[in-house]
Amino acid sequence: MENKRPVIVIVGAGFGGLAAANALAGEAVDIVLIDRRNHHLFQPLLYQVATAWLSPAEIAAPVRSIFSTRKNVVVILGSVTGVDATARTVRIDDGLRQIEQRYDFLVLATGARHDYFGNSHWEAFAPGLKTIEDAIAIRERLLMSFERAEMSTSDDERNANLTIVIVGGGPTGVELAGSIAELARAALAKDFRHIDPRLARVLLIEAGPRILPSFPETLSAAAKRSLERLGVTVNLNCRVTACEANSVTAGDERIAAATIMWAAGVKASPAAAWLDMKTDRAGRVMVEPDFSVPGCSGVFVIGDTATLTDAGGRLVPGVAPAAKQAGRYVGQVIATLIKGHAKPAPFRYRDYGNMATIGRRAGIADFGWISFRGPIAWWLWGIVHIYFLIDFRSRMTVSINWLWSFLTYKRGARLITGDEQRKSVDTENGTR
């Protein structure tokens, strides 16, 4: 019995890849969904894992269980190492061996990683935040710096351990800064005996003239004031020129800081290299208005991996709702191509609004026709994010964790685990 159903390979189980798979799962097709991780990650809340607020499992869902009842969806846990656009195959390394997977249609939705603008050696000193491992490593570094400050024997050592620098004033940087300031000023406030965590210095460095440049200027200014009220120092028009172990140089000033985080730029995943395509400066593939790749029949690139100006003349932004819409759209395009129907209307990004939070109470929201700030924006942000969380259990437990930390100011996930901790335990075992 030969399989005549079209095979659609989707690489990446982020917002774009999931939306494409969902749009096609009801059709008479076979879908192969490939990801290096076994879980879909709800990235907008990742900073809350990094700041000891939520547990990783609360913002992640196993890809297999999302599609468990869709028998035409096969999930492969593996890394794509190349694409042969002529033979129409994808090469996958599943950890055991290399596989060649044939496709009729290929959707690349591999997202982006941090970009250090040519200084990739900075990553060791100023890690970015894209995966659960990133978040746990940052949480460990952050909590350990307070522990080290408690044990410091000189003012210089103590001050360096109590200095936290966040590079980049986009939504991730702003949300990290606000959440860390509150961690120090509330959750940790009474827990140490030799230091006052409230004296921790949280520094947000932005190269441009304002934070949150995708928002209206009044909201940027309001967000800056909210951060400053929480005790964050915001340095605008300030460019990082060096990152080293425990120090960052911004402009001419060298700042001693045990914790440095990078939220300044992203670079697209290697889809362009697989296809041997030209990209923009951020490594994104320049796609046709239907997200297809010129010269590669049957190949589509969406989400943070692609760059496109939509039918309304607007550059599609690198945000979750845009990736979802692109995934759904490409699913429809592929379905019509298979059925021989007329193509859907050109893609047009629908902007439902833009929100960000600053700490536990302040938020800003911009819906074009209306924009506002304050506690209402915060609550709206919370409701929207809980609503979009993958499954019932995550919604419930995240709601409870939020409510709990809202009422008590405590943080539920203040665990130091992982590499650094393991190293010190190993050392100790060695001395036994």
68 touches a second copy (CB under 8 A): yes
Which tokens sit at 207? 């190269």
Q: How far is the CB of 210 from a second copy (least distance, A)?
A: 34
For the chain, the maximum distance between any two Cα atoms, rounded to a whole number of angstroms, is 76
78 touches a second copy (CB under 8 A): yes
Beta strands in 51-177 (DSSP E): 60-62, 73-77, 79-84, 89-93, 98-102, 105-108, 112-114, 163-167
417 touches a second copy (CB under 8 A): yes
- Site residues (CB under 8 A) for a second copy, limited to 205-224: none
Q: How far is the CB of 31 from a second copy (least distance, A)?
A: 11
- Site residues (CB under 8 A) for a second copy, limited to 127-146: 132-133, 136, 143-144
Distance between CA 301 and CA 288 in Å, rounded? 9
Q: How far is the CB of 96 from a second copy (least distance, A)?
A: 6
Q: Show which residues are catalytic.
A: 175
* Residue 241 main-chain phi, psi, to 5 deg: -110, -15
Distance between CA 281 and CA 126 in Å, rounded? 22
Q: How far is the CB of 271 from a second copy (least distance, A)?
A: 11
The single residue among 65, 89, 246, 247 that binds a second copy, judged by CB under 8 A, is 65
Q: Which stretch binds a second copy (CB under 8 A): 91-99, 251-259, 321-329, 366-374?
A: 91-99
65: helix, strand or coil: helix
- Site residues (CB under 8 A) for a second copy, limited to 174-193: 187-188, 190-193
Distance between CA 48 and CA 84 in Å, rounded? 39
- Site residues (CB under 8 A) for a second copy, limited to 384-413: 392-394, 396-397, 400-401, 404, 408, 410, 412-413
Distance between CA 229 and CA 363 in Å, rounded? 13
1 touches a second copy (CB under 8 A): no
The single residue among 221, 380, 386, 415 that binds a second copy, judged by CB under 8 A, is 415
Q: Which long-range contacts (CB under 8 A, 24 or more apart) does 322-326 make?
A: 322/349, 323/14, 323/15, 323/16, 323/19, 323/109, 324/15, 324/16, 324/18, 324/19, 325/19, 325/349, 325/350, 326/16, 326/19, 326/291, 326/302
| Cα pseudo-dihedral 244, 247, 250, 252, rounded to 10 | -100
Q: Of the two residues 207 and 416, which places its CB atom closer to a second copy in the complex?
A: 416
Task: Of 317, 313, 294, 291, give the one whose Cα is nearest residue 302.
Answer: 291
Q: How far is the CB of 269 from a second copy (least distance, A)?
A: 9
Q: Of the two residues 157 and 244, which places its CB atom closer to a second copy in the complex?
A: 157
Q: Which stretch binds a second copy (CB under 8 A): 68-76, 222-230, 255-263, 354-362?
A: 68-76
Q: Of the two residues 56 and 208, which places its CB atom closer to a second copy in the complex?
A: 56
371: helix, strand or coil: strand
167 touches a second copy (CB under 8 A): no
Q: How far is the CB of 103 from a second copy (least distance, A)?
A: 17
Q: Of the two residues 132 and 322, which places its CB atom closer to a second copy in the complex?
A: 132
- Site residues (CB under 8 A) for a second copy, limited to 247-306: 270, 273
The single residue among 13, 21, 46, 76 that binds a second copy, judged by CB under 8 A, is 76
